[in-house]
Structure 1
Amino acid sequence: MPQEPSHRPIAKRLRQFAKNMRHEPTDAEAAMWRLLRDRRLSTFKFRRLVPFKHYILDFVCFEKRLVIEIDGGQHAELRHDAVRDAALASEGFAIARYWNNDVLQQPTSVLEDILAKLAGR
């Protein structure tokens, strides 16, 4: 069973930014965290707003190496997301992206999709 990667030095600025983001989540991030926290999704442990390398991951299950990203309209076609996804894939992570609207309006469908992705890893 893959474990959480060994601790790597994270820039102090990035850690502080992630910490600040945890205190001011978007509505969709807050809703998703209520569904994932405390092993509520089939006992899988998720962490939120985790600094990893020079990125901040919205939600991550290190056991299954699955990253969940909750995106708004600003992510519609960003090249940065593709570069980030490739960097995470090179570390063995799969990335699942969901729109804010889907998380807020269809949470059951989103959770079912996440469970399917977890089962496939």
Structure 2
Amino acid sequence: MPLSPDPSNDPLTRARRLRRDMTQPERALWRELRDLRRLGLKFRRQVPFDPYVVDFYEPARRLAIELDGESHVGRFEYDDARQKWLESQGLHVLRLANDDVVKDVGAVVEAILAYRERMV
């Protein structure tokens, strides 16, 4: 009998779990990004791009925002390959540090908006 695929490896399943179990920096940034709806910007969180899931995504500019924290220590090669794959799919990837979100989430939002405007 063939083995069934592990459902925890499914990008949609992972995305749902990651939405439910967001880190403190992810929660803080998500609150701010949701407020940008008043400006017409619609960010989504934990969006699957098979085989990966990006932390935040703004479809109008195909902007993926990735927060890097402790889980990324020692994973440069993996993160680099992942970013290259996402870029090959037409996404613009902005990597930010969790520490920056914790220290000054407002400055991080301003940096995201500035980056987004330069993408025109």
Scaled by the length of structure 1, the TM-score of the pair is 0.82
Q: Give 1:6's aligned residue.
A: none
Deviation, structure 1 residue 62: 1.1
Q: Give 1:18's aligned residue.
A: 15
Cα-Cα RMSD: 1.9
Alpha-carbon distance in structure 1 between the residues aligned to 2:9 and 2:70 = 29
Deviation, structure 1 residue 14: 2.0
| Aligned positions, number | 111
Q: Give 1:30's aligned residue.
A: 27
Alpha-carbon distance in structure 1 between the residues aligned to 2:35 and 2:100 = 22
Scaled by the length of structure 2, the TM-score of the pair is 0.83
Aligned partners of 2:11 and 2:50 also within 8 Å? no
Alpha-carbon distance in structure 2 between the residues aligned to 1:61 and 1:77 = 28
Q: What is the correspondence of 1:55-70 to structure 2 with a 5 Å cutoff?
A: 55-70=52-67
Which of 62, 80, 83 is residue 82 of structure 1 equivalent to? Answer: 80
Identical-pair percentage: 38
Alpha-carbon distance in structure 1 between the residues aligned to 2:51 and 2:92 = 17
Structure 1 gap segments, 5+ residues each:
1-10
